[in-house]
Amino acid sequence: MGEFSGKVALITGGSRGIGRACALAFAQRGAAVVIGYASNQAAAAETLKLIAGAGAKGTAIQFDVGDGSAAGEAVEKVIAEHGRIDVLVNNAGIAIDGLVMRLKDEDWDRQLNANLRGAFALIRAVARPMMKQRQGVIINIVSVVGETGNAGQAAYSASKAGLIGLTKSVAKELGSRNVRVNAVSPGLIDTDMTSELREQAKTRMFEAIPLGRWGTPADVANAVAFLASDAASYITGEILKVNGGMYM
């Protein structure tokens, strides 16, 4: 019996990277895990194997988080199958780098839709069932650049900064019904997304980390699991930095 036994967690972007690590963390702690993914069926299947290997029940739902209707339908599916939803981890997101003077409208829209609008749609969908349960946890994966800004990432930074504001606002709205809303803000984490950064940028960022190492997806997943647990029952509206001291 794990600390999340009997609970159901929905994790978007769960097919790889931080999302996969979060799925495994909840599975290892006894939760039934539902992963949302956009297109990579093979990666989603691999995550489900890991969940099963942890002795937990895992299912996958393919949908576009930027589509409000699809997000609502995904939550309905989770509740129809499991009868409840206890944890939502808004992890799905994309980054399309480019200087602001060259940033295309469609690239701005894609990032805001995936990173911010999608999280909003899922929060809206889970709010009512969680309030009815008088219990629930929402955790948004933001980013250090949402706190500091970053040249060449105006849209990505804006979307994550917006998600920080959304986290705090919804925490105030739902707190009276025992629904907690927090965010985890990763720094330089070794994932597919960061592997696409230019070497010069990675070197500059790495030199700013006092702990002197890259973070791992498991580092972020452990913070997410903590915020979802009863050990964090008096924490809401918080932005938990997981960045090795990169930004304090």
Structure tokens at 218: 């498991």
Burial class (CB in 10 A: 0-12, 13-18, 19+), 231: exposed
Catalytic pick among 37, 156, 234, 247: 156
Q: Dump strand ranges (E) for 65-149.
A: 87-90, 136-141
Instruction: Say whether 160 sits in a helix, a strand or coil.
Output: helix
Distance CA 132, CA 134 (A): 5
Is 234 labeled as catalytic in the residue annotation? no
Structure tokens at 168: 């705090």
How far CA 98 is from CA of 101, 105, 165, 201, in Å, comes to 8, 12, 24, 13
Which of 189-212 are b and which e, b meaning 16 or more Cβ less than 10 Å from the residue's Cβ? bebebbeebeeebeeebeeebeee
Distance CA 125, CA 74 (A): 9
Residue positions annotated with a catalytic role = 156
